[in-house]
Amino acid sequence: MGFPASTNYLKTAEQNMLDGNYGTAIENLTKEIARDPESLIAYRNRGVAKGILGEYEAAMEDLDKALRIDAKDVYAYFNRGNVKKDMGRYEEAMADYDKARQLDEKFAQPHFGLGEVKLKTGKADEAFEHLIEAVHLAKNSNNRKFADLAQERIKQVLQYKKAS
């Protein structure tokens, strides 16, 4: 079954995800994968959408496939870490976040993920350190929105520490 090369399923799926239409995004990404079975971005984004919908095992399959296509894809490691975190597989999540961090030292999001996991496992001091680094990296990359999110999480960590 062929799809016209001019059809841009990736772009449509990206808009679907921005609009919160994850099911429709999955449909478009599946069409892209049928068109291009080695589409790293399609597998990665479909994994993200499935993870958001709580379809964790299916999300893991897509993110694993993305990493088979490109074993150095920082975003696939980061997103797989998010899925593992949501599944409560904290040690595995930390390993994926660490791998993403090693692949791109300027990528703020793995530090945020590590901060989240550290907080969930009762390691508030380590969570604080990672979140501070996430803010620093986000500001350096002019990602103000993400820096603000990380700063809000820091406030929560400080409240947690104060209550402990």
Whether residue 2 sits in one domain with residue 83: yes
Question: In one letter, which amino acid is 155?
Answer: K
- Could you give the number of structural domains in the chain? 2
Whether residue 112 sits in one domain with residue 61: no
Whether residue 112 sits in one domain with residue 77: no
- What is the domain extent for residue 136? 105-164
Instruction: Please name the residue that has the structure tokens 């299916």.
Output: 58
Domain stop point among 89, 114, 131: 89
Whether residue 144 sits in one domain with residue 67: no
Whether residue 83 sits in one domain with residue 55: yes
DSSP 108: S
State the average pLDDT over residues 117-135.
93
pLDDT above 70 (res 5)? no
Reported confidence tier of residue 7, pLDDT bands at 50, 70, 90: low
pLDDT in tens, 75-92: 999 999 999 999 999 999
pLDDT in tens, 134-157: 999 999 989 888 888 889 989 888
Report how far residue 77's alpha carbon sits from residue 54's, in angstroms, rounded to the nearest whole number. 18
pLDDT above 60 (res 162)? yes
